[in-house]
Structure 1
Amino acid sequence: MTDASNERPLAANDGNLSQNRVLRAGSDHPDPVMAAREIHAGLTGQESACIFFYCSADYRLDLLSEELNTLFQNVRIVGCTTAGEITPLGYRRNAIAAFSLPSSHFSVETVLIEDLAHFSEQEAQLLVSHMVERLQSKAVAPISGNSFALSLLDGMSIREELVLKALSTGLAEIPLVGGSAGDNMNFQDTRVYFEGEFKTRSAILALVNTTCPFHVFSTHHLTSQQEKLVVTSASPYERVVHELNAEPAALEYCRVHGLSIDNLDTETFAIHPVAVQLSDELYVRAIQKVNDDLSLTFFCAIDVGVVLTKMTSGGLLEQSKHLLHSVTQDIGEPQIIIGFDCIYRRCETDHIDIVGEMSELYAQYKMIGFNTYGEQMDGLHLNHTITGVAIGSHD
């Protein structure tokens, strides 16, 4: 794949330094076999501790899986489907974005978590304990202070909060960031990739140990308003709110935001969010859709009694510039920023026509990632954020 504006290749490779540096690659070839080969070409030249990839759900996943297995034999590789990709050239759709962590400066342990509905804190503690033991046997640096966790979850599992709480307890001081897999806004079939197969109702946890400096972050660009919405009727296990302020949820949402019920769609929900306050912080609770009975389905946990605050959007590009600049002040020029970017940020980017500017910004800071159905930060399931980890150089 090339960028039509300047014909530079999408795959990024650091030449003679590739043995010791994070490699980034991408492809938007419509043929999954050719796309996998382009990814492989961009990630050659080093012994990899682990390869991570994020791919469009519109690919023939069986063909993609088969080719990845052929190309990356004896290499640890994990990934997931997306609602959009962040490649070396920035935002793309119907593409694959990938990166490789060199074994010279990284050690990685991965595990597949199945049966998310019954995953407990006890299981999480045992799982993490065993992973840390394996990681210690091949660590490139002391575990404490030099390790972080990456998580990828089935975005349609409705189990993110339970799984993240359990994992966060088990990880203790090890920070965790991640994203919920997507399927291009179809909300039907999201998958994670582990040991050669795309799987549903599952999650992946990766523990990363490194000699490189890193900085974990999560932020949003929204500001709170005075108007409140109290959840007065809900089905929490389905993340459905039936009533807000004792009125049909969709109608009351429209009243507070000054909207028409006929205009409720993905774009509207993206630019007219609501949030819940926890301690001193506001966390967005993104709305997925309006239902026929005028109830609202959310991406995150919701329950009766929750007080939602009206939020307004503004300064997405400026906030992103400030965030990425501040991250580099902490670790220097990044080798890579692994980014989990809410699909509603992408929708807003489309709406205000700054896709080009955001792509240039993400490319400048070497971000690789995807548009999620929810972001993950320690024990929290988030919406409307850019969450991730920036990795500096070991020099």
Structure 2
Amino acid sequence: MMALESQTMAEHAAVAYGSSESQDAAVAATELFDGLSGVEPACVIFFCCVDYNREELGRALATLFGDIPVLGCTTAGEISPFGMRSGSIAGFALSRDHFVVETTLLPNLASFSERGAFDTIKQSLERLEDKALAPVGENSFALSLLDGLSVQEELVLSALNDALPGIPLVGGSAGDNLHFRDTHIYYDKQFFSNAAAIILVNTRRPFTVIHGHHLTPGEEKLVVTKADAAKRIVYEFNAEPAALEYCRIMGISLDELSTRNFAMHPLSVQVGDNTFVRSVQQVNDDLSLTFFCAIDTGIVLTKMKNGRLIEEFDQRMRRVVAEVGDPDIVIGYDCIHRRIEVEDTDSSEALEALYRRYKIVGFNTYGEHCDAMHVNHTFTGVAIGKYDDFPL
């Protein structure tokens, strides 16, 4: 059994966080629970490897935390203030002294109703307003956890964004270690597939949303000339088989197509001066390509050039500190392709040092959420400052 990794703040802490690398689900749940014992939680959020026995893990968490709201998801890798992990569980607790929360589940995304989701979130928002610690509009944010194989993120996020005017939303799509078979959301003491969990958080603490990437656009373009938007599959670029055109523009061979090369050779949609990354998930037997995010016929994709990920992320986090002070926690959603990139470029230790410095807890995703956007290859999250009275 691995030693417990945990850290809590000082007396009257606002946040506690912990993790476990035990492969035994019951032991892992106990070690996470022990790591979060420094606060009276308003809620607990965790991120776990898909390989755990989920029935056993869910049962253990329900027994340990009782009536405390516990939410979570499976991942493509876990992040704690101790660094990047695989095959583990990591999580955090928000203290009831400093946060109030409202949670809800959107089940069965296959029959998702925008009107139903809008009404559900509005009701949750009304409950939050009834018990808020500070004015809701200026002092609240929303967190989302979505089944990463549901192919419904864009529809769900659009409905959520409409229901939460002025309240920022950040989140991530659950993963399964790049198997692309089995992603899950945990809510109300059980795991669900094809579902989304939403957490509304109100606090007096200063916070700020983080969202961005380190990539820059190149000159080469690919036009989607045949696609199945509902399945996020591109059959043709430039009227040629998608995989062959992708290989041509990236300068790689067909037999080199792999998760690693998809991570190292991203594409993007350009809207004005903004670039929204669209990463390839996998190549199919018919030479079509499945994407992580929305894709459709007629879209023009730009080849992206990798930049200086570590330096860009460090600069971004320095701006966060200038805005809200040293963070108590950064709830982070980091694309799995960024993790593959840092591993491929031997930058993992440098990134882990930043995770530790800025107290980042989160997971490697199949897509990142920022308001109504569902994108790839970004770090997206929310940083919460330590002090209620930090000058803004």
TM-score (norm 2): 0.97
**Do residues 41 (structure 1) and 37 (structure 2) align?**
no
Cα deviations by residue, 1:259-278 (Å, 9 ceiling, x for unpaired): 11110000000011100012
Q: 2:340 matched to which residue of 1?
A: 347
Equivalent residues of 2:81, 2:358 under 8 A apart: no
The 1-side partners of 2:81 and 2:216 are apart by 30
The 2-side partners of 1:222 and 1:45 are apart by 39
Q: 1:373 matched to which residue of 2?
A: 366
**Do residues 107 (structure 1) and 132 (structure 2) align?**
no
Q: 2:91 matched to which residue of 1?
A: 98
SS of the residue aligned with 2:334?
strand
Equivalent residues of 2:106, 2:117 under 8 A apart: no
Q: 1:12 matched to which residue of 2?
A: 7
Equivalent residues of 2:15, 2:39 under 8 A apart: no
**Do residues 129 (structure 1) and 122 (structure 2) align?**
yes
**Do residues 393 (structure 1) and 386 (structure 2) align?**
yes
The 2-side partners of 1:234 and 1:132 are apart by 38
Partner amino acid for 1:33? A
Equivalent residues of 1:121, 1:169 under 8 A apart: no
Q: 1:197 matched to which residue of 2?
A: 190
Partner amino acid for 2:8? N
Shift of 1:355: 1.2
The 1-side partners of 2:8 and 2:324 are apart by 21
Q: 2:289 matched to which residue of 1?
A: 296
Equivalent residues of 1:153, 1:160 under 8 A apart: yes
**Do residues 88 (structure 1) and 84 (structure 2) align?**
no
Equivalent residues of 1:83, 1:373 under 8 A apart: yes
Shift of 1:45: 3.0
SS of the residue aligned with 2:33?
helix
Equivalent residues of 2:39, 2:94 under 8 A apart: no
**Which of 228, 232, 238 is 2:231 aligned to?**
238
Shift of 1:20: 3.0
Cα deviations by residue, 1:271-313 (Å, 9 ceiling, x for unpaired): 1110001233110100011111111110011000000000011
SS of the residue aligned with 2:5?
coil
Q: 2:62 matched to which residue of 1?
A: 69
- Size of the aligned set, in residue pairs, is 388
TM-score (norm 1): 0.96
Shift of 1:2: 6.6
The 2-side partners of 1:250 and 1:211 are apart by 50
Equivalent residues of 1:140, 1:210 under 8 A apart: yes
Map 1:231-270 onto structure 2 (within 5 A): 231-270=224-263
Identity %: 51
Partner amino acid for 1:261? L
Q: 1:6 matched to which residue of 2?
A: none
Partner amino acid for 1:49? A
Partner amino acid for 1:270? A
**Do residues 52 (structure 1) and 45 (structure 2) align?**
yes
Equivalent residues of 1:109, 1:134 under 8 A apart: yes
Q: 1:155 matched to which residue of 2?
A: 148
Shift of 1:68: 0.5
Shift of 1:344: 0.3
Partner amino acid for 1:73? G
Cα deviations by residue, 1:13-51 (Å, 9 ceiling, x for unpaired): 12x42x332111111111111111110111013211110
Equivalent residues of 1:284, 1:384 under 8 A apart: yes
Shift of 1:136: 1.3
> Unaligned 5+ residue runs, structure 1?
4-8
The 1-side partners of 2:122 and 2:285 are apart by 46
Q: 1:146 matched to which residue of 2?
A: 139
The 2-side partners of 1:121 and 1:169 are apart by 10
The 2-side partners of 1:121 and 1:202 are apart by 14
Equivalent residues of 2:77, 2:85 under 8 A apart: yes
The 2-side partners of 1:180 and 1:332 are apart by 28
Equivalent residues of 2:2, 2:22 under 8 A apart: no
Equivalent residues of 2:78, 2:89 under 8 A apart: yes
SS of the residue aligned with 2:68?
coil
Partner amino acid for 1:195? D
**Do residues 219 (structure 1) and 212 (structure 2) align?**
yes
When structure 1 is superposed on structure 2, of 319-328 and 265-274 the one drifting more is: 319-328
The 2-side partners of 1:163 and 1:279 are apart by 25
SS of the residue aligned with 1:12?
strand
**Which of 10, 14, 19 is 1:21 aligned to?**
14
The 1-side partners of 2:15 and 2:334 are apart by 20
Equivalent residues of 1:87, 1:96 under 8 A apart: no
Root mean square deviation of aligned Cα: 1.2
CA spacing shift, 1:2–1:327, aligned 2, 3 Å: farther
**Which of 277, 282, 291 is 2:270 aligned to?**
277
Equivalent residues of 2:16, 2:38 under 8 A apart: no
Shift of 1:122: 1.9
The 1-side partners of 2:285 and 2:111 are apart by 31
CA spacing shift, 1:127–1:279, aligned 2, 3 Å: farther
Cα deviations by residue, 1:338-374 (Å, 9 ceiling, x for unpaired): 0000000011111111111111110110000000000
